[in-house]
Amino acid sequence: MSYSRRQFLERTFGAAIVAQAPGVITSDRVRPRIDYGVAAGDIAPGRAIVWAHVDRPSRMVVEYATTESFANARRVAGPVATPDSGLTARVAIGDLPVGQTVFYRVRFEDPTDPRIVSAPEVGRFRTAPGPGRPVRIAWSADTCGQGWGIDTSRGGMRLFETMRAADPDLFLNVGDTTYADQPLRETVTLEDGSLWRNLVTPSKAKVAETLDEFRGCHLYNRLDEHYRRFSAGVGQVAMWDDHEVRDNWYPTQVLGERAPYQEKRVAVLAARARRAFLEHYPIALASQGETRIYRTAPYGPLVEVFALDMRSYRGPNSENRQPAMSAETAFLGAEQVRWLADALSKSQATWKVVAADMPIGLVVGHQPGFHEAVANADGGPPLGRELEIAGLLKALKDRRVRNVVWVTADVHYCAAHHYDPARAKTSDFDPFWEFVAGPAHAGTFAPPPLDATFGPEARFCGVPADLPPNRPPSAGLQFFGLLEADPKTRVLTVSLVNTAGTRIYSTELQPVS
């Protein structure tokens, strides 16, 4: 079937756009190009953020509708993407209906000639459901770490296609969205003698230090077709952990002379990395271009997500056994702890999902005798960073906050942990669950030990205890989690899923009034 030029433009851009600009210039040589796909996220009642990257300075324009044909579409003209924004741009779209699939179409216009328009990129997301509708939320983390980048001959980042097939309403990317501190080699020899062949870009050939290098690390993931397709099809909440900057960092850290960095002040590296992180995800930014990384994501009457930031406010990694709270024992930081306790207390959702970039009870080392996470490996009453978590858990008990579930990643395997004061060295908290998932596309490791302070019990572990370190993604030991809330029973089903799409663990949590 052949089309006239006008019919072609109408099918591509929509009749309204053609009517407004009958002289659209479509030469690929002169028009902008959306080169890394599109994404939507930070979905709130009536509102969402749409993101894209373009290959030259140009103005972002978004159309959106509740039909795939874009009938009765709304149009929003956004900012001009410039080198100062890393050629990224975002638009807030509003007046969104409850419980709908929203289709959006992104174009970029030449800022001096609106007839010069990019080809469109189309995406979709689901708004929060109303009463009587189920919710399905996926989470994972840890992308392109431990030397495992994109190998197209092995299918690329296959877990993202598996997650797309699970058809989640929302995705929580709970950290290590990229590995800016771990350069890629072109080839890695596997145990069977075959080669893992990494796609390597200049930003992934060395540790990231400059703003543009950090930007390039985030864009690297979008070279993968599965990642781009998933990002365009599922709304997301993006968080960060350590590898967006460097392994195990904290704000006051100064690197030693042997570290392969020209810039030794981690605070400087982190400021650049933070800017790159905020530029490259659909995160709602304040007018001055900054925002808190910790925030809530209300998603209907059944679920509200509380996304944390366990990096920006922590004290130094240490032996983690201080007897009293201070700046040295900060992990979330006093302000974030107050915010979390208050926000959880005010939430009307049945299930309060705390998305944390690090687990509570797993012992995560930093260097001999020092600790990177909450647990300090002594198994006794709370000390060090454990004091802050103990205070938070007590506050939730005192305020009678029910149905709090923690989801996390960072440790590169999957597990289900149940915490109970009957097993703990401190009893002033209510029992709760913590579920671990990941990696999404990185090395897989055996589980670290659990610390007894908060009484954790491993009800499930997705890998053998003697698993050799740094299993490649081709081993199939990549994982994501699913949270599925039923509107009739209000039961929350939590599942852990592998690369093949097999639910290797599932449990049903009954709501408590």
Q: Does residue 146 contact residue 182 with C-beta atoms inside 8 Å?
A: yes
Give the Cα separation of 136 and 168 in Å (integer).
5
Average pLDDT over residues 264-286: 95
Domain stop point among 80, 97, 126: 126
Domain stop point among 102, 126, 150: 126
Please report the pLDDT score of residue 11 as a whole number.
Answer: 42
What is the value of pTM for the model shown?
Answer: 0.94
Average pLDDT over residues 85-107: 97
Please report the pLDDT score of residue 25 as a whole number.
Answer: 75
Residue-wise pLDDT for 40-81, tens only, equals 999 999 999 999 999 999 999 999 999 999 999 999 999 999
Please report the pLDDT score of residue 17 as a whole number.
Answer: 41
Say if residue 488 is in the same domain as residue 447: yes
Say if residue 176 is in the same domain as residue 322: yes
Angle of helix 225-233 relative to helix 158-165, nearest 10 degrees, comes to: 30
Average pLDDT over residues 461-488: 98
Say if residue 290 is in the same domain as residue 394: yes
Say if residue 48 is in the same domain as residue 143: no
Residue-wise pLDDT for 186-219, tens only, equals 999 999 999 999 999 999 999 999 999 999 999 9
Q: How far is the first Cα of the chain from the last one, in angstroms, to the nearest whole number?
A: 61
Domain stop point among 74, 102, 126: 126
Say if residue 122 is in the same domain as residue 150: no
Give the Cα separation of 494 and 369 in Å (integer).
35
Say if residue 99 is in the same domain as residue 159: no
**How many structural domains comprise the chain?**
2
CATH code: domain of residue 27: 2.60.40.380
Say if residue 352 is in the same domain as residue 212: yes
Please report the pLDDT score of residue 291 as a whole number.
Answer: 77
CATH code: domain of residue 397: 3.60.21.70
Residue 171 pLDDT > 50: yes
DSSP annotation of 323 reads: S
Say if residue 225 is in the same domain as residue 298: yes
Q: Which domain holds residue 74?
A: 5-126
